[in-house]
Amino acid sequence: MTQTSFEVMLMTSLSAAWQLLLGVITAHSFMRCRCIRTIPTVRRILIADVIVYEPRPACHKFEVVAVMKNNRQFCLDPESDFTKRLLRDKAE
């Protein structure tokens, strides 16, 4: 294996691990909960959209996903004050 291909594989692995840590949407989320982990807040100015997923047979949790302007997605803690204010403002 060449040094370059090793570096590419390492960067890919680190990127995937980082996204998982930040609570990014999981693959095949229709079979389970979309959010593995949640974060309490994100920079509000960077949010492009907010998606709410109601509980369903495959997942009993209420899930809130912030879609950022760079198209990254983060799962927000639905119990945090930030998320509650965000949803209240979106409803208005």
Q: Stretch 50-68: mean pLDDT, rounded?
A: 94
Quote the number of domains for the chain: 1
Output the pTM of the full model. Answer: 0.65
The more confident residue out of 18 and 72 is 72
Q: What is the CATH number of the domain that holds 43?
A: 2.40.50.40
DSSP letter, residue 60 = -
Which residues make Cβ contacts (< 8 Å) with residue 78, sequence separation at least 6? 38, 61, 62, 63, 64, 84
Q: What is the distance between the alpha carbons of residues 82 and 58, in angstroms, rounded to a whole number? A: 26
How do residues 14-54 score in pLDDT, each as one tens digit? 565 555 555 555 444 456 899 999 999 999 999 999 999 99
**Of residues 85, 64, 86, the one with CA closest to residue 75:** 64
With cut-offs at 50, 70 and 90, classify the pLDDT of residue 67: very high
Residues of the domain holding 45: 3-91
**pLDDT attached to residue 18:** 55
With cut-offs at 50, 70 and 90, classify the pLDDT of residue 74: very high
**pLDDT attached to residue 91:** 86
